[in-house]
Amino acid sequence: MHELSIAAALLVQVEELAKANGLVRVGVVRVSVGVRRQVVPESLAMAFEAVSLGTMAEGAVLEQSEVPMQARCRACAADYAPSLRDFRCPACGQAAAEITAGNDITIASLTGDTE
């Protein structure tokens, strides 16, 4: 279950971001999850709930939105949406894709209480 390590890394970012914004308690965390990470949303939510116990993010709601994969062809510069198994460019057929989206898990926004 790789969601546990993702949740742990996410918690570190959440706490840093919360402290930087003067929050003492985290309410809602919106995360953008790249489809290529193949995260199971329920598993990530459960894992986050587990790792955040006893922290300022305990009880926080994790809202996840999936980010589809996008690629740019290094050969002809076409932008396209590759499948998870086939990265070849639909325009020129070369497998020289640079993944430009769908690869990361990022915090889109964070809300909480300041006291």
Q: Which residues bind Zn ion (CB under 5 A)?
A: 73, 75-76, 78, 89, 91-92
Backbone angles phi, psi at 92, to 5 degrees: -120, -5
Of 45 and 99, the one with the shorter C-beta distance to Zn ion is: 99
> What is d(CA 104, CA 31) in angstroms, rounded to the nearest whole number?
10
Question: Least Å distance between CB 95 and Zn ion?
Answer: 9
Of 8 and 78, the one with the shorter C-beta distance to Zn ion is: 78
Of 62 and 73, the one with the shorter C-beta distance to Zn ion is: 73
Of 1 and 76, the one with the shorter C-beta distance to Zn ion is: 76
Question: Least Å distance between CB 47 and Zn ion?
Answer: 38
Residues in the chain: 115
Burial 23-56 (b: 16+ CB within 10 A, else e): beebeebebbbbbbbebeeeebbbbbbebbeeeb
Torsion over CA: 46, 50, 52, 58 (sign): positive
Question: Least Å distance between CB 70 and Zn ion?
Answer: 14
Report the DSSP beta bridge partners of residue 19. Answer: none
Question: Least Å distance between CB 80 and Zn ion?
Answer: 8
